[in-house]
Chains A and B, each alone.
Chain A
Amino acid sequence: MAKRIDVNDLNVYYSKFLAVEGVSINIEPKSVTAFIGPSGCGKSTFLRTLNRMHEVIPGGRVEGQVLLDGDDLYAPGVDPVTVRSQIGMVFQRPNPFPTMSIKDNVLAGVKLNGNKISRSDAEDLVEKSLRGANLWNEVKDRLDKPGSGLSGGQQQRLCIARTIAVKPDVILMDEPCSALDPISTLAIEDLINELKDDFTVVIVTHNMQQAARVSDKTAFFNIAGTGKPGKLIEFNDTTAIFSNPEQKATEDYVSGRFG
């Protein structure tokens, strides 16, 4: 549980287009790392390379290394399916499976790869995961109802429950609150704080206050212009990024003078 991620000089391509260039970053276990930066700077793209989800888009590929506790995700013979079951992901818009009940949504990942789970184990896991996502009390009476009937914030917490049910080492979150109201956002942020006790959390956010509130470390990405690759400009403790950034571009961005 909770492994570290080390990225060495990573380039991300979509076919021939270089989307992100030369990123090296070390993400500590049991910490929350936030990626901030203007739209189109490649932070979401980079996040998706951490569990090989960028390969879902045709032409997506990388050069360089991503090490999960020293094991390269991109070594020959590594199955992306295995990678993704160890590095979970929560998306921008809540996406519970509409055809499944709340309970089945939580168990969806667990039942993959032909895994069988006994009824009592399943019930325990559903409760534990939903409690872990601070959703249990709200849904315990309607576990057999469709997940799509919940509010947006509840759906997003259901997606988090689904992700933690497979017991990943790392949880990636791609702007998990951008489609939610402030109260639901607060619930997710509280949850992120609890999640870092057990998991390594990486979160992309457009909201700098959110980055400041939830993260231990912050990485600032930027882009020189349209068609140019995104780059990691600065990576440091969150307090340092927001109060005393080393780079001029970081300071301009966090102080709102730009982007």
Chain B
Amino acid sequence: MRVVNSTTRTSNTPPPLQHWLHHPRFVKALAMTTNALTSKSSTSGRLGDKIFSGAALAAGVLILITLFAVAVFLLIQALPTFFADPAEVSGGQGFFAYIWPIVIGTVIAAAIALAIATPVGLGVALFISHFAPRKVAGPLGYLIDLLAAIPSVIYGAWGYMILAPALVPGFEWLAKNLGFIPIFAGPASQTGKTMLTAGIVLAVMVLPIITSLTREIFLQTPKLHEEAALALGATRWEMITTAVLPFARPGIISAVMLGLGRALGETMAVALVLSTGNLIPSLIKTGNQTIAAEIALNFPEAFGLRLSELIAAGLVLFLITLVVNIFARGIIARHKEFSGAN
């Protein structure tokens, strides 16, 4: 620009400096330095913002890196299994034949746990948040939270020493009276160390997670909506179904998903309670296995291809959790318009 100006300049044209001043960039820069608002903005506040957004970003990235690292580790370590000679894999028929029975077993155990823990957990949470007198609600809440802190090995010990023998008469009754349904086919296990027992133990372990989370969400239901329902002539239960449960729906799904995560991944309790075996439909006979327990029971003496198989099993568990969570997110997102967040 200067070059052009210097060649075309005549005596009465403005000097190049002034020309410069009119350049849009310079005008903008000038305006920025002289704007009354710019000088007032405190730099310390902006620094705080920067630190915070940086920290939040770092935390988010860290999670992604961790997950990615886990996935990469599992994938690399599991690779030999997929390329191994099918005859060399446990069971002798390749990895798929080895893994699918325990995948089904894992899903069954988790399904039993959730089928029991979800209604009970929601019921306890509703009782604490909306029915119990304040004097009862507080201690009961603490008690439930405490259940979450008990180590899983203790649940396992309780499961196989106390719960399993206690359930044997029940299993025998089921086999006798409902034996025609494949899941209750007899003869019932005499030790009680069955899939159903494992599922019940898992349900007890999952219960505090579902209860604590949903209780917090139920308590957050806007008073305004509860009163709206009551003022229309709703009973307490109708108030809960019209105002509380719909409001809490995404939270309930998230709570159940967290519970499912624990049920799918639980190792110790299942390893102790379940007397493992091949995949069978009956829940009251010895048999079945879950991925987490399979890994825990065999890991100590595994090496070479066996180790790689177990890690591949871990990879499958990782994928199951991922798929279930994506599915749950989908359910929550589908009802976004009616979530009340708009």
- Residues B233 and A82 in contact, CB atoms below 8 Å apart: yes
Let me know if A97 and B234 touch, CB within 8 A: no
Whether A93 pairs with B339 at a CB distance below 8 angstroms is: no
Q: Is the interface of A mostly helix, strand, loop or mixed?
A: mixed
Q: Is B235 an interface residue (CB 8 A)?
A: yes
Q: Are A109 and B232 in contact (CB under 8 A)?
A: yes
0/1 string, A84-117, CB within 8 A of B gives 1: 1110110101011111110000001100110000
Residues in A whose Cβ lies below 8 Å from that of B232 = 84-85, 88, 108-109, 112, 162-163, 166
Known contacts A97-B242, A98-B340, A99-B249; is-contact A166 B227 (Cβ 8 Å): no
Q: How far is the CA of A100 from the CA of B226 in the complex (A)?
A: 14
**Residue of B with least CB distance to A98:** B340
Q: Is the CB of A113 within 8 A of B233?
A: yes
**In the complex, what residues of A have CB within 8 A of residue B335's CB?**
99
Given A84-B233, A113-B233, A166-B233; A98-B225 close (CB under 8 Å):
yes
B238 on the interface (CB 8 Å rule)? yes
Q: Are A95 and B228 in contact, with the CB atoms below 8 A?
A: yes
Contacts of A58 in B (CB 8 A): 134
Interface size on B, residues (CB 8 A): 27
In chain B between 323 and 342, which residues have their CB closer than 8 angstroms to a CB of chain A?
335, 337-342
> Does B219 reach chain A (CB closer than 8 Å)?
no
B218 at the interface (CB under 8 A from A): no
Instruction: Say yes or no for B148: interface residue by CB 8 A criterion.
Output: no
Residue numbers in A under 8 Å from B87 (CB-CB): none
Interface string of A27-67 (1 = CB under 8 A from B): 00000000000000000000000010100101000000000
Cα distance, A167 to B232, chains bound together (Å): 10
A54 to chain B, nearest CB (A): 11
Task: Compute how far the CA of A101 lies from the CA of B337 in the bound complex, rounded to whole angstroms.
Answer: 10
Alpha-carbon distance between A91 and B232 when the two chains are bound, in angstroms:
12
In the complex formed, the residue of B with least CB distance to A82 is B233
- Does any Cβ of A come within 8 Å of B195's Cβ? no
Q: How distant is the Cα of A217 from the Cα of B235 in the complex, in angstroms?
A: 33
Q: Mark B2-22, 1 if CB is under 8 A from A, else 0.
A: 000000000000000000000
Min CB distance B136 to A, Å, is 14
B235 nearest in chain A by CB position: A81
Let me know if B340 and A84 touch, CB within 8 A.
Answer: no
User: CA separation between A42 and B337, bound complex, in Å?
Assistant: 38
Of all A-B residue pairs in the complex, the 4 with the closest CB atoms, nearest first, are A98-B340, A85-B233, A109-B232, A99-B246
> Interface of B with A (CB < 8 Å)?
134, 222, 224-235, 238, 242-243, 246-247, 249, 335, 337-342
7 residue pairs bridging A and B, Cβ less than 8 Å apart:
A97-B228, A97-B242, A98-B338, A108-B232, A112-B232, A112-B238, A149-B337
